[in-house]
């Protein structure tokens, strides 16, 4: 019995294994995000993110422009991807950088770090951040590109909060440290018209399909018309879309509906936006 108790105590003290994070009450949710994150293992997807000039410039300037803050520090990069932020942190003078990446992209990051002569500083670890074997207070700075679609889509903020609570020293820094979410009405007339035309063309395809099925295969598929039309409208007109907005499409002043302080935000607060009244003129 004593041995069993000791094993139980050890299990409580050790970091959770990756497979343990994907089971239990949150298993289905975790599996959903695992499928979503799998796309990050592809260089093509990483390239898309790395060609986002505004995002890249903001992180580069924040790190290299504050080199004095990174000098001789221990840095944790949460969701390191290809390792670019870790490379910048090393170039800014960090003593050690732990690049934590959950997907197979960690293998590419390791090669990229070595190719840039920084493998003596940057330690790439393929792991969930929750499974890292780090002591509390052993990290001076946490860097992370955790923002997803509509800020919170990827739920990587959960991992940043975990890293902050378990590894960051008292008074340590987070990059970024704050984030805001805004609502704003926009006028995207050209995009609207293109979507309506796409919807009409896709719906019109059913007539030819229906005729072909009856003529060539002697199968009447008319009973599927209505659900097909509903699916088409869902796909073409009711899905969230990504746009790089310019000032000329804004139809009002942006209203802030969420302001996140990463130094203090809790996991519960990171689950979504609470009711936030707003109005536009």
Annotated active-site residue 130? The verdict is no
* Biggest distance spanned by C-alpha atoms of the chain: 76
DSSP secondary structure letter of residue 249: G
Indicate which residue of 145, 231, 253, 275 is catalytic.
Answer: 145
Cα(7)–Cα(12) distance, rounded to whole angstroms?
9
Indicate which residue of 154, 210, 229, 230 is catalytic.
Answer: 154
Please, are residues 22 and 131 in contact by the beta-carbon 8 Å criterion? no
Please, are residues 129 and 100 in contact by the beta-carbon 8 Å criterion? yes
Annotated active-site residue 198? The verdict is no
Question: Locate tokens 């790089």: which residue?
Answer: 244
144, 146, 147, 148 alpha-carbon torsion, rounded to 10°:
150
Please, are residues 132 and 99 in contact by the beta-carbon 8 Å criterion? no
Helical H runs in 38-74? 43-50, 53-64, 67-70
| Residue 269, SS3 per DSSP | helix
Active site residues: 145, 154
């Amino acid at each position: 019995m004593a041995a069993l108790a000791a094993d139980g105590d050890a299990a409580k003290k050790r970091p959770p294994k990756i497979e343990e994070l994907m089971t239990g009450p949150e298993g289905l949710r975790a599996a959903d995000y695992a499928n979503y994150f799998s796309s990050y293992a592809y260089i093509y997807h990483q390239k898309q993110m790395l060609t986002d000039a505004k995002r890249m410039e903001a992180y580069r300037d924040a790190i290299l422009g504050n080199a004095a803050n990174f000098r001789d520090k221990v840095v944790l990069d949460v969701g390191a991807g290809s390792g670019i932020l870790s490379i910048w942190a090393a170039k800014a003078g960090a003593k050690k950088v732990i690049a934590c990446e959950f997907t197979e992209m960690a293998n590419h990051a390791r090669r990229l770090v070595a190719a840039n002569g920084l493998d003596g500083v940057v330690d790439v670890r393929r792991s969930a951040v929750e499974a890292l074997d780090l002591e509390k207070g052993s990290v001076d700075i946490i860097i992370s590109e955790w923002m997803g679609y509509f800020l919170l889509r990827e739920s990587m903020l959960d991992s940043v909060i975990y890293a902050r609570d378990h590894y960051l020293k008292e008074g340590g820094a987070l990059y970024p440290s704050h984030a805001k979410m805004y609502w704003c009405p926009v006028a995207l007339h050209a995009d609207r018209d293109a979507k309506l035309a796409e919807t009409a063309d896709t719906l019109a395809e059913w007539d030819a399909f229906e005729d072909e099925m009856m003529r060539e295969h002697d199968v009447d598929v008319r009973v599927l018309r209505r659900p097909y039309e509903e699916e088409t409208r869902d796909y073409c007109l009711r899905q969230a879309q990504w746009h790089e907005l310019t000032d000329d499409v804004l139809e009002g002043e942006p209203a802030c509906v969420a302001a996140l302080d990463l130094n203090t935000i809790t996991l519960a607060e990171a689950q979504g936006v609470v009711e936030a009244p707003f109005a536009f003129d």
